[in-house]
C-alpha cells in the first residue's frame, strides 16, 4: 500500500496524488440530460425559424407509426409539406416505405441505440433542409425507434409528442409504461379494426392513460380502414395552422 | 438500455467539471433519480462503472444515489402507498375497487460533486451554484 495516502498503488510505483492535495465539494444541480436538452431547444428554434411543427412519434415496434405516416402523407400531401426523420436501429426499410409516397425522408439509423437523441435529430433536420432546398416545410415527423420505454426520456425538440399503442399490445400498457404517456400530449390507440379479435378495453386504456396524464388528448383510429383518421388529420392541420399564425406574428 | 447513454453523459459532465476546477480526480458524485425518471438504477450503476474507468479522473469515483421510491395514489380518495395496486383490488383508504397511479418527479440531476486536486490550483473552495 502507498505510504503517503493509503491508496492501493504500492509505494515507489508512483503516487497519483499531488503532494499537497485537497478536496472541494460543489453543489452542481445540473440535469444529466442538460446537453441533450440544450440541443433540443436548438432543434425547436430551428424548426420554428422555418414555421414547421416538429412531432415525435413514440410506440413499441409494430405499434403502427409507419402505417399512420403513410396514411397521413397520402391524405395530406396536397395540403401540407411533410418531411420525415426516420429512426431505426438497423435498415432503411421504413424510410424507403415513406419515400415511395414522394416525401423527403432522412433515415436516422442509430446502429444499436434504443432511442433517438437531440444531436442526432439536429443532423437529420439539417439534411432535411437540404432535401427541401431551403424552402422549409409545414410539419416534420420524427419517427422514433420502436420502443415504449427509452425514447420517453429524451426531448428531441419536438412541439408535440404523440404516443401510439396498438390494440394487439393490450390495454394495460399506459399503467405499465407510464412515462411515455406522462410526457405525451396526444395518445393514438391504433389498429382499432382489430378490436373484435382482442380482449382490449378502450374504456380501460382511456381511464389508465388519463390517470397518468389527465391532459392527454386520446384518439382511437385505424390507419388501415381509415376509421378515426379524420380526427387525427384535423388535429394535425390545426396545430400546423397554429404554428403558421405564430410564425407570421413573429415575423411582423 | 438508455441508462448507458445517461451514464456516458454523467461521466462527460464530471470530466468537464474536473477540468473547469483544475481537479485531478472526481471523488464522489451525488445523483438524484426521481421515481418517474424511467431509469433502471442497477443498469445506470452498471453503465457508470463501465464508462468511468475510461478516464483516470473518474476511475475511482463513488456514485451516490438519491432514489426516492415511487408513490402510488388512489384517484378516488387520494390514499397513497408504495405498492401499485392492481385494478381488481379494493383501496385501503376508501374501499373502492380500482387501480392506483404513480406520482412523483422525473428528476435526473447531478446534485453534488466532490473534487480532489492540488492545493494551490484546485478552484471552487466555496460552495458554488451550478449553471
Chain B interface, mutation test: which of A4, A17, A23, A26, most B Cβ atoms within 10 Å? A26
Q: Under 8 Å CB-to-CB from B99, ≥6 apart: which residues?
A: A175, A208, A211, B84, B85, B86, B87
What are the structural domain ranges in chain B?
Answer: 1-68+105-121, 69-103
A192-201, B87-96, B97-106: which has the highest mean pLDDT?
A: A192-201
* pLDDT beyond 90 at B77: no
CB contact under 8 A, A24 and B118: no
The tally of CA atoms less than 13 A away on the side-chain side of residue B28 is 11
Residue A103 CA to residue A81 CA, distance in Å, equals 8
A154: contact with B, CB 8 A cutoff? yes
Whether residue A16 lies within 8 A of chain B, CB to CB, comes out as yes
Identify whether A12 is part of a domain: no
Measured CA distances, B130 to A62, B63, B122, B123, B124 (Å):
42, 19, 17, 14, 11
The per-residue pLDDT for B131 is: 36
Cell, residue A164: 401510439
Backbone dihedral angles phi then psi of residue A235, each to the nearest 5 degrees: -60, -45
DSSP-derived pairing of the beta strands B71-73 and B25-33:
unpaired
Expressed as residue numbers, the domain containing A111 is 52-251
Q: Which three cell numbers stand for residue A97?
A: 416505405
Give the full edge-to-edge strand order of the sheet including B101-103.
B80-81, B71-73, B101-103
Which cell is B129 given? 451554484
CATH number, span B1-68+105-121? 3.30.2320.50
Question: What's the whole-number average pLDDT of chain A?
Answer: 90
Q: What is the pLDDT of residues A57-72, one digit of tens each?
A: 999 999 999 999 999 9
Q: Does a structural domain hold residue A2?
A: no
Rounded to an integer, the average pLDDT of B37-45 is: 91
- Asked if the ipTM is above 0.85, the reply is no
Count Cβ atoms below 10 Å from residue A155 Cβ, excluding itself: 21
Residue A121 is part of a domain; what is its CATH number?
3.40.50.300
Handedness of CA A199, A202, A208, A213 (dihedral sign): positive
Position A153 in a domain:
yes
Amino acid at each position: 500500500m502507498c505510504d503517503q495516502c493509503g491508496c492501493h498503488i504500492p509505494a515507489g510505483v508512483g503516487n497519483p496524488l499531488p503532494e499537497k492535495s485537497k478536496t472541494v465539494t460543489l453543489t452542481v444541480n445540473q440535469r444529466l440530460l442538460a446537453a441533450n436538452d440544450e440541443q433540443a431547444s436548438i432543434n425547436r428554434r430551428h424548426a420554428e425559424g422555418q414555421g414547421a411543427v416538429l412531432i415525435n412519434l413514440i410506440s413499441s415496434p409494430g405499434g403502427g407509426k409507419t402505417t399512420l405516416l403513410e396514411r397521413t402523407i397520402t391524405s395530406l400531401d396536397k395540403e401540407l409539406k411533410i418531411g420525415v426523420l426516420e429512426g431505426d436501429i438497423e435498415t432503411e426499410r421504413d424510410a424507403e416505405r415513406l419515400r415511395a409516397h414522394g416525401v423527403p425522408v432522412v433515415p436516422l439509423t442509430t446502429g444499436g441505440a434504443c432511442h433517438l437523441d437531440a444531436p442526432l435529430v439536429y443532423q437529420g433536420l439539417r439534411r432535411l433542409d437540404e432535401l427541401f432546398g431551403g424552402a422549409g416545410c409545414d410539419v416534420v415527423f420524427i419517427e422514433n425507434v420502436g420502443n415504449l420505454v427509452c425514447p420517453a426520456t429524451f426531448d428531441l425538440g419536438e412541439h408535440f409528442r404523440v404516443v401510439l399503442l396498438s390494440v394487439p399490445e393490450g390495454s394495460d400498457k399506459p399503467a405499465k409504461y407510464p412515462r411515455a404517456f406522462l410526457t405525451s400530449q396526444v395518445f393514438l390507440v391504433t389498429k382499432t379494426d382489430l378490436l373484435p379479435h382482442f380482449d382490449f378495453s378502450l374504456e380501460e386504456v382511456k381511464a389508465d392513460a388519463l390517470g397518468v396524464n389527465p391532459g392527454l388528448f386520446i384518439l382511437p383510429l385505424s390507419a388501415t380502414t381509415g376509421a378515426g383518421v379524420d380526427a387525427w388529420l384535423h388535429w394535425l392541420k390545426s396545430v400546423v395552422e397554429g404554428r403558421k399564425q405564430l410564425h407570421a406574428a413573429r415575423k411582423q | 438500455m438508455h441508462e448507458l447513454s445517461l451514464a456516458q453523459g454523467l461521466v462527460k459532465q464530471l470530466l468537464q467539471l474536473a477540468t473547469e476546477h483544475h481537479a485531478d480526480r472526481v471523488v464522489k458524485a451525488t445523483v438524484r433519480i426521481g421515481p418517474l425518471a424511467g431509469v433502471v438504477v442497477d443498469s445506470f450503476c452498471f453503465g457508470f462503472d463501465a464508462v468511468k474507468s475510461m478516464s483516470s479522473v473518474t476511475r475511482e469515483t463513488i456514485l451516490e444515489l438519491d432514489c426516492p421510491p415511487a408513490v402510488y395514489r388512489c384517484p378516488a380518495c387520494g390514499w397513497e402507498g408504495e405498492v401499485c395496486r392492481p385494478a381488481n383490488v379494493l383501496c385501503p383508504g376508501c374501499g373502492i375497487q380500482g387501480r392506483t397511479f404513480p406520482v412523483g418527479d422525473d428528476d435526473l440531476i447531478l446534485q453534488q460533486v466532490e473534487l480532489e486536486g492540488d492545493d494551490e490550483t484546485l478552484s471552487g473552495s466555496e460552495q458554488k451554484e451550478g449553471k
